[in-house]
Homo-oligomer: A and B are copies of this chain.
Amino acid sequence: MDSLINYVQKNASTLISDADIEVIKSCFISKRLRKKQYFLQEGEVCKYFAFIVKGAMRQYYVDEKGIEHFVQLAIENWWVGDRESWVTLSPSKFTIDAWEDSELLLISNADLLKLIQLVPAVMEVMRKMDERNNIATLKRITSTISYTSERRYTDFSTEYPDIVKRFPQHVIASYIGITKDTLSRIRKKASRK
């Protein structure tokens, strides 16, 4: 729990009282996942959004040919979940699983809405989370529609070196929208320098 409280405090502009800390804690559910375990399977409703205390999670879409497209990769102090399914309680098109043994803190949309009312600082923190998310995804889109795959990879690995270290190459490749074969060749080319 501490890392969540830390995260909230770091992103809030005011000091969080001990009473508020207790309220926040009471809204989350702890969950542990082993590597390869599912957090969400395609077709299920994403009842909980998760704050990652420890571990690494992958969110992906499986197309008609059965190919997995990784749309989000998340590690400690990030959030993971299918926002659309979580908000609308509709079945998800995505699958989310643990890539490392992970510790999560779960919260339902209803509980988060309540929590936001009770502790205004949480509202601020969530707004900032959304804000960062919006900014980051727009950058990702700019990158995919503007640059070559080589440029996308070098940009990504300098911006998120920790992510690149913790997931296998074929996952990174999929995330930036290329095949593992192409990424292997890009890396080979880049290392000859």
Partner-B contacts on A (CB < 8 A): 61, 63, 67, 69, 71-72, 83-84, 87, 123, 126-127, 130-131, 133-135, 137-138, 140-142, 144-147, 174-177
Write out the residue numbers on chain B whose beta carbons fall within 8 Å of the beta carbon of A71. 138, 141-142, 145
The smallest beta-carbon distance between A61 and chain B, in angstroms, is 5
Most chain B CB neighbours (cut-off 10 Å) among A127, A138, A177? A138
Known contacts: A71-B141, A135-B84. The answer to whether A61 contacts B146 by CB under 8 A is yes
> 16 new A-B pairs (CB below 8 Å) besides A67-B146, A133-B134?
A69-B142, A71-B145, A83-B138, A84-B135, A84-B138, A87-B135, A123-B123, A127-B127, A127-B130, A130-B130, A130-B133, A130-B134, A134-B134, A137-B137, A137-B141, A144-B144
Bound form: Cα–Cα A177–B147 in Å: 10
Does B140 lie within 8 Å of A141, measured CB to CB?
yes
Does A83 lie within 8 Å of B141, measured CB to CB?
no
Write out the residue numbers on chain B whose beta carbons fall within 8 Å of the beta carbon of A140. 141
Write out the residue numbers on chain B whose beta carbons fall within 8 Å of the beta carbon of A131. 83, 87, 130
Does B142 lie within 8 Å of A145, measured CB to CB?
no
Bound form: Cα–Cα A71–B135 in Å: 12
Bound form: Cα–Cα A135–B137 in Å: 10
Bound form: Cα–Cα A83–B133 in Å: 11
Does B69 lie within 8 Å of A146, measured CB to CB?
yes
The smallest beta-carbon distance between A30 and chain B, in angstroms, is 25
Bound form: Cα–Cα A71–B144 in Å: 10
Does A83 lie within 8 Å of B127, measured CB to CB?
no
Known contacts: A87-B131, A135-B83. The answer to whether A145 contacts B146 by CB under 8 A is no
Bound form: Cα–Cα A147–B67 in Å: 11
Bound form: Cα–Cα A130–B124 in Å: 13
